[in-house]
Amino acid sequence: MTTTASELRTKGAAARDAARALARVSAEVRNGAIRNIASHLLERKAEVLAANRKDMEAGRRAGLSEALLDRLLLTHERLEGIAADVRQVATLPDPLGEVSDMRTLPNGLQLGRKRVPLGVIAAIYESRPNVTVDIASLCLKSGNACILRGGKEAIHSNTALAAVVRDAVAAADAPDNAVQLIESTDRALVGEMLKMRELIDLVVPRGSAELIRFVAENARMPVLVGGTGVCHTYVDRAADIDMGARVAYNAKCRRYSICNALDTLLVHADIAETFLPAIARAWAEAGVEMRCDQRSLGILEASDVAGLSLKPTQVDDFGKEFLAPIASVRVVDSLDEALDHIYEHSTGHSDAIITEDYSAAMRFLDEVDTAVVYVNASTQFTDGAQFGLGAEIIDSTQKTIARGPVALREITTYKWIVLGSGQTRP
């Protein structure tokens, strides 16, 4: 169960070689490997659940919270859900092989960009064991090898799942070395991994803000960072009040603990006295705490809405990701003030305007520099499946590589292919 730095390099090199082999494998074989994962998972349920019980017992002994234990837990039903998700990946269109921009130059050279796998993707993640299967399936689908480093709490589950996955891949005559699990939970090894620039093409951290920052600051290879969303909904003076309340309610309350949930509500002063009581009534029923600037607090305290949970904003309530039934609220005097607020506080994940004013909508779309910019819709739509992209790996909040939902295409790259007939450059 211990992995040394040199064993880590051996696994990295095995993944690199397997990536070369996998890039030559047809979509048919890749999809067969993925379907095998689903069927083997169900056939070997007992083995996986036994391993998961060890993690659960260790987690209880270690005093993990009920929420963490629930994230760790695998059941018959959950394994069936995971298998169904995996089978779904096999049905998605092949992200590889597309040739774009193909053209003929005046000298007769024909050239274009062909979509190919990235190579080796390392994923560093925390407790949920289903990530092991998800990432492996998505990487296989996109022709990439993967190096998986899950959390300490899930080590037995991850080891069992990775064994199932590798056997399933081998049974499809695809290279099982394309899936590598780091079985050591020694944190120092993560630092070692992040130095392996010649073996890893992309690192994807999934987990706490601390983990993500550590990876972003220490990786020597490209990183895909996401999952931190401080999301704004701005209700413009020209908003349809009912629509605004419905959308803001959904953006906050559909689910609280996800990165595309509303954190801050900005309301134009001209409609604040009508809109704030409307949204406050809906949020009050859902038990949402409102952390209000002075003006919104004044309006709500003077209103007749029952059951409000109001607090004045504290330092940092703007620009904070709550992941809870809490929203910060501010009244602004203009679209410009809303744009300035968003520029200052948004993490560039998802921001929305509610308005019937065409020019305000256009300015918001143009000037808000966020991965997903919405007019008159809930920010909770930010999701690969909702966008019709199929499976999602993370929601990127960086500007390079991919923005917003990262699906299969976003973990591929292209190469230029040039077809000549003896051309030399003058």
Q: Which of residues 245-284 bind a copy of itself (CB under 8 A)?
A: 246-247, 249-251, 254
Binding flag, residue 420, a copy of itself (CB under 8 A): yes
- Dist CA 206 CA 330 (whole Å): 31
Q: Which of residues 40-69 bind a copy of itself (CB under 8 A)?
A: none
Residue 409 CB, shortest distance to a copy of itself, in Å, is 10
Residue appearing with tokens 């349920």:
45
- Dist CA 332 CA 339 (whole Å): 10
> What value, to the nearest 5°, has the Cα angle with vertex 412 and ends 409 and 415?
125
Binding flag, residue 201, a copy of itself (CB under 8 A): yes
> By three-state DSSP, how is residue 192 classified?
helix
Query: Of the two residues 37 and 266, which places its CB atom closer to a copy of itself in the complex?
Result: 266
Q: Which of residues 80-109 bind a copy of itself (CB under 8 A)?
A: 103, 105, 109
Quickly list DSSP for 283-343.
Answer: HHHHT-EEEE-HHHHHHHHTS--TT-EEEEPPTTSTT----SSEEEEEEESSHHHHHHHHH
Binding flag, residue 343, a copy of itself (CB under 8 A): yes
CB 58 within 8 A of CB 153: yes
Binding flag, residue 111, a copy of itself (CB under 8 A): yes
Interface stretch with a copy of itself, choices 274-282, 291-299, 305-313, 401-409 (CB under 8 A): 401-409
* Per-residue binding letters, 352-391, with a copy of itself (x by CB under 8 A): -------------xxx-xxxxxxxxxx-xxx---xxx---
Residue 265 CB, shortest distance to a copy of itself, in Å, is 15
Residue 172 CB, shortest distance to a copy of itself, in Å, is 20
Lookup: tokens for 420: 């000549």
Q: Would you give the distance in Å from CA 277 to the centre of its chain?
A: 34
Query: Of the two residues 16 and 166, which places its CB atom closer to a copy of itself in the complex?
Result: 16
The residue from 197, 314, 324, 358 that contacts a copy of itself (CB under 8 A) is 197
CB 384 within 8 A of CB 407: yes
Give 123's strand partners: 148, 204
Residue 41 CB, shortest distance to a copy of itself, in Å, is 28
Binding flag, residue 404, a copy of itself (CB under 8 A): yes
Total site size for a copy of itself, rule CB under 8 A: 67
CB 298 within 8 A of CB 325: no
Binding flag, residue 419, a copy of itself (CB under 8 A): yes
Query: Of the two residues 44 and 254, which places its CB atom closer to a copy of itself in the complex?
Result: 254
Residue 129 CB, shortest distance to a copy of itself, in Å, is 27
> What value, to the nearest 5°, has the Cα angle with vertex 283 and ends 279 and 287?
165
Which of 135, 175, 171, 173 minimizes the C-alpha distance to 21?
175
Binding flag, residue 243, a copy of itself (CB under 8 A): yes
Binding flag, residue 416, a copy of itself (CB under 8 A): yes
Query: Of the two residues 66 and 316, which places its CB atom closer to a copy of itself in the complex?
Result: 316
Inter-CA distances, 273 with 68, 87, 331, 353, 400, Å:
41, 51, 10, 18, 41
| Residue type (1 letter), 399 | K
> What value, to the nearest 5°, has the Cα angle with vertex 408 and ends 386 and 129?
85
Binding flag, residue 118, a copy of itself (CB under 8 A): yes
- Dist CA 410 CA 403 (whole Å): 9
Binding flag, residue 26, a copy of itself (CB under 8 A): no
Using CB under 8 A as the criterion, which residues of the chain lie in contact with a copy of itself when the complex forms?
20, 23-24, 103, 105, 109, 111, 114, 116, 118-119, 197, 201-202, 216-217, 220, 222-223, 240, 243, 246-247, 249-251, 254, 343, 365-367, 369-378, 380-382, 386-388, 398-401, 403-405, 413-425
